[in-house]
Amino acid sequence: MKKLLSITLAMFLFISYGGVGNAAEIFQDNGDTSDYTNNSNEEYILDEDNLYTDELVIQPYVLPAILAPAASILVSYIAKHGLKKAVGNWSKSIVSSMIRSIPAVTKAAAKDLGYTEVRGQFSHGAKIFEAGKKAKGPKYISVDKDGHNGGTWKGASTIKDLGNKKTRSGTYDEELNRIGD
């Protein structure tokens, strides 16, 4: 399973950057990747988040249909074996990234942690989950969309408190271990 997920992620990155044709052109002369032209005289600019062309922006973090099978594998694995084993089987970064970006994985992970979805409630566009009886963590959690300090979840004692960094109880990893804010 780990091999399948790794291959799928590699294919995703390969396709998001335009495949073999673009890779060969990017690195052909002098290794300059900041600005180059291909046969159609289209200009490409690569920054740290996106690949820009004259006509479109390719965002490597947008999840294409190719990762849908990997998401369903992870959801079923979490349901069957638990989140802790999923993190052990794959890596923390893969599981965390998929929790933050795929709603089905988010819901499966929250359920495994003992949380249920609060219908119609969102924090910064992310669904909010409420602690059940077996939950060991804050009363409310939501996906940490930016994840700038490695966080997967943000937690708080009230739904309103999730919206502000000053009122949250903290930032948590995929298994709800508190990490630095």
Given a contact cutoff of 8 angstroms between Cβ atoms, the answer to whether 127 and 103 are in contact is yes
Q: What is the mean pLDDT of residues 41-69?
A: 50
Which pLDDT does position 27 carry in this prediction?
A: 44
- Give tens-digit pLDDT for 118-177: 999 998 889 999 999 888 889 999 998 876 677 899 999 999 998 888 898 889 988 999
Contacts of 99 (CB under 8 A, 6+ apart): 105, 106, 109, 143, 152, 174
Given a contact cutoff of 8 angstroms between Cβ atoms, the answer to whether 48 and 59 are in contact is no
Provide the pLDDT confidence category of residue 33 given band limits of 50, 70 and 90.
Answer: very low
113-179: which CATH topology?
Ribonuclease domain of colicin e3 (Residues 456-551) (3.10.380)
pLDDT more than 90, % of the chain: 20
Summary mean pLDDT of the chain: 74
Which pLDDT does position 12 carry in this prediction?
A: 63
CB atoms within 10 A of CB 78: 26
Question: What torsion do the CA atoms of 142, 146, 151, 154 make, to the nearest 10 degrees?
Answer: -30
| 47 pLDDT higher than 80 | no
Q: Which of 121, 171, 167, 122 is nearest to 146 (CA)?
A: 171
Domain boundaries in the chain? 18-58, 113-179
Furthest CA-CA distance within the chain: 61
Which pLDDT does position 128 carry in this prediction?
A: 94
Which pLDDT does position 93 carry in this prediction?
A: 82
Contacts of 95 (CB under 8 A, 6+ apart): 74, 83, 86, 87, 109, 174
- For residue 21, the one-letter residue type is G
Angle ∠(102,106,112) on CA atoms, nearest 5 = 145
